[in-house]
Chain A
Amino acid sequence: MTAFTARRKISSFVMLGLGIASLVFALVLDCLGFKFFITVSGRNVDIRGAILVAGILLTIAGIYLFPTLKYHRAIVYGLFLFPLLATFLVTVIIPLFFGIGYSFTDWDGIRVRNVVGFSNYLRMFRQPGFLWSILITFLFVFFNVILVNLIGFLLALLCTTKIKALGFFRASYFLPNLIGGIVLGYIWKFIFSSVLTNLLATKSMLSETPTALAAIVIVYIWQYGGYIMLIYITGLTGVPADTLEAASIDGASPWQLLTKIKIPMIAPTITICTFLTLTSAFKQFDVNLAMTNGAGSVSDFLGSYITNGTEMLALNIYSTAISQNEYALSQAKAVLFFIILAVVSIVQVRTSNKKEVAL
């Protein structure tokens, strides 16, 4: 191995220095709101972005040429990961911290005037409407996790038997999941408030808060049941045929086959499906928006009259920002939402790991 030439060392350091300098220069300009014009054929062109890109490229080149043997491989790996990492940083990590920061201010979507500490967090827990949203979201999640899994599993059992037109059934159960939630919500709103009312001559299910919530649960099951069914089918077809055969030769009834062999063997699938439904039910937004947009009255909840009877957490966050123009408050609610989902996900990862070890 030869030592690095002086030329290589110098070019690496110069590139690194220049690159970092122009990066910092461009970012500082941007943060201070200045532009950097040069005149090209009579037109002013803002080259702030160009300086930033040049800075990034020079820095990358400088790092690549960095005179080290020990870390060269790691540097190359890092460079290849850079595009994805940068995208992840810009679209996920930076907004996350910005969002948390905004929740401590009086941000109105345009500018921050004051830092208000925890007052947004205190305010949101004093809103009966928000507490109601949390309550119904948990109820919704509870009913959904049970019902979607139950129905998905039953459909999967049906679709792993030897009935005719199996492919047709599988496809048609899965089909609702391919329709977007907004479209689905509008279709079902039409069914509930126009079709069913005419057929059964009853009041629309969407007209009262409890039935409207039930309607959203029904639509959600209809949308999600087929998807969960598909996962259960994969699990069920993975159960070894010889085990089942051996058991039935030993005289096990179909019920015993189901409870003693099939269900224990697909335990990991059950875990996956439970958490899939759990997280997606928490995030329920589009069907909720299209079907009721959160409206619905509850005459007495914690001593007040609630007007957002069918508004779940995600929709509450949205309407706090968009229709009430309370961006900072909405951001604080979003942080709470993030914490809830993070806890669910961590529990999910923990339990899945344990199950895998047990198997």
Chain B
Amino acid sequence: MKKKILSVLLAGAMVSSLVACGVSTGDDAASTTNTGDATTTETAASGDAIVLLNGKPEIDEQLQALAAAYTEESGQAVEIQTVGGSNSATASDTLKKDYQAGTMPDIFVAEANQFANWEGMLADMSGEAWTENTELEYVNGDGTVGFPYMVEAWGIGYNADILEAAGVDSSTLTSPEGYKAAFETLESKKDELGLTAVVDYGANATELGWSTGTHMFGQYLDAGLSAGSDSEWFDLLQDGGKIDADRMTQFAEFIDLIQQHCDETIATTGNYDQETALFAQGKAAFITQGSWFGANLTGSDDYSGFKCGIAPFAFADGIDTICGGATSYWTVYADGNVDAAKAFLQWCSEETAQKAFVNECGFVSPFNTVSDIPSDPFAEAVNTYKTNGKLSPMHTFEKKDGLQNDTSVVFEDFAKGNLDVAGFVETISKVCEAYYAQ
């Protein structure tokens, strides 16, 4: 008898565990809801919340607040799901999983080179009112598919206080000669200004490959071009990885100039933290980073509040632009709740929401609906280039995926002195061609 009871109990446990598994899979959508105050009330308000997949954990709270404000205004619930850390791979991994599971969010984050993956599956937003207020939306064969929500830009960042103390005028930094003169002046006053190096440059492929392989290489592709008009060198690259030898030689000579005035240890083995520390301590006048660096700078204990600016990456005469634009977009899934999503994005482009983006999230706004500038040390410079129409495009994010991992190694070899200027040009051409051929 006892045995029978025991076996019934065991069988019951097995069955109930199976049932439990089944039920929990059915409930998945509800259980992934964020536990923030805002979202719980919204999901209670309506069963048809639109879901936004956010890839930036640092602005999760701000977006929750924004969603709550929108719900209050329109009655439409918005649920913010946040994934990822420092790299975007996690957001796109989540999307792949969601796609297979049939639980795609209505709005999700995408970078320029990820739109091709979703070809034919995104809603066309052309004709939306917000497209009138920006020039930075992402357009491809499917129409207007990317809603820009932030602007980033990069050239060569500088410490304005140091330049002023050394008597270097930042407006002269539009040609290699201008840079050479500035570097030499600073080099001669190094002790007086307390500098360790004139330029803070890191080319270790493992640590800073994203900086050299994506951003600096992007200067070769786009520096000096005006937005939307031209893509000569990018087209050449896309055509089997071809490199323009003349332009690349000028570019390499400029990098060589930087290398003569940088800290060798940081250039070859340094990581982002070491690079940040050097600039934040005021021990370097220039840095090869862009506007995102402002957040690291203000977050550093060493930062004393000096003024910063961004100068063009002028490896050829007359380059007076910096590369910039939206580096991350929101896109609407065509099979989702398209109308509600479009309405939410429209609201996001308007003044109230844009003010929150600028002041709470610290983004430079891609829209002209707001004139506020974030308190970030580089924001003013970016905004000035933006309003003067001096932002070059950023085709570097549309080159073949993963090319930066290969080119960054060439940058490192160059920094270590294993390659000279001609060797750099030859190697990087070989590497690009090989990468596009494989």
Contacts and interface: CB of A to CB of B under 8 A. Distances in A.
Co-complex (A, B): yes
Interface of A: 33, 35, 43, 45-50, 52-53, 56-57, 83, 108-111, 123, 126-129, 193, 197, 203-204, 206-207, 291-297, 299, 304-305, 307-309, 319, 322-326
10 tightest Cβ-Cβ pairs between the two chains A and B: A53-B22, A324-B402, A307-B409, A295-B205, A325-B401, A307-B406, A49-B26, A323-B402, A295-B206, A49-B25
Contact of A57 (B18, B269, B405, B416): B18
B438 interface: yes
Given A295-B206, A305-B434, A323-B89, 12 more contacts: A50-B22, A53-B18, A111-B99, A193-B269, A204-B269, A296-B409, A307-B406, A322-B89, A323-B401, A323-B402, A325-B113, A326-B402
Given A53-B18, A53-B22, A304 B430 contact: yes
Interface of B: 14-15, 18-19, 21-23, 25-26, 47, 89, 92, 95-96, 99, 102, 113, 117-118, 205-206, 209, 265, 268-269, 401-402, 405-410, 412-413, 416, 418, 427, 430-431, 434, 438
B410 A307 contact: yes
A193 to B, nearest CB: 5
B408 A52 contact: no
Given A110-B99, A295-B205, A319-B402, A325 B117 contact: yes
B438 A297 contact: no
Given A109-B96, A292-B206, A297-B410, A207 B268 contact: yes
A91 to B, nearest CB: 14
Contacts of B410: 297, 305, 307
Contact of A123 (B21, B205, B206, B438): B438
B330 to A, nearest CB: 18
A48 B102 CA distance: 13
A177 B401 CA distance: 36
21 contacts: A49-B23, A53-B19, A53-B22, A109-B117, A110-B117, A111-B99, A127-B438, A129-B438, A193-B269, A206-B269, A207-B416, A295-B409, A305-B410, A307-B405, A307-B406, A307-B408, A324-B402, A325-B113, A325-B117, A325-B402, A326-B401
Given A110-B96, A305-B427, A50 B26 contact: yes
B347 to A, nearest CB: 27
A45 B409 CA distance: 53
A305 B414 CA distance: 13
Contact of A295 (B23, B117, B412): B412
B401 A43 contact: no
A43 B89 contact: no
A295 B427 contact: no
Nearest to A56: B18
A15 to B, nearest CB: 14
Nearest to B274: A194
A35 B102 CA distance: 10
B249 to A, nearest CB: 18
B15 A47 contact: no
Contacts of A128: 434
Contacts of B14: 83
Given A206-B269, A324-B401, A293 B206 contact: yes
Nearest to B97: A109
Given A197-B269, A305-B431, A297 B409 contact: yes
Interface of B is mostly: helix
Contacts of A324: 401-402, 405
B262 to A, nearest CB: 16
A292 B207 CA distance: 9
User: Chain B CB within 10 Å — which of A43, A83, A110, A293 has the most?
Assistant: A110
Contacts of A307: 205, 405-410, 431
A325 B18 CA distance: 37
A207 B438 CA distance: 27
A326 B438 CA distance: 11
B405 A50 contact: no
Contacts of B99: 110-111
Contacts of A127: 438
B409 A49 contact: no
A16 B14 CA distance: 19
A197 B270 CA distance: 12
A108 B115 CA distance: 12
Nearest to B89: A322
A297 B19 contact: no
B413 A297 contact: yes
A207 B18 contact: no
Contacts of A193: 269
A200 to B, nearest CB: 14
A326 B427 CA distance: 24
Nearest to A46: B26
Contacts of B406: 307-308
Nearest to B438: A127
Contacts of B89: 322-323
Contacts of B434: 128, 304-305
A319 B265 CA distance: 27
B102 A33 contact: yes
Contacts of A309: 409
A50 B406 CA distance: 49
Contacts of A323: 89, 401-402, 405
A45 B430 contact: no
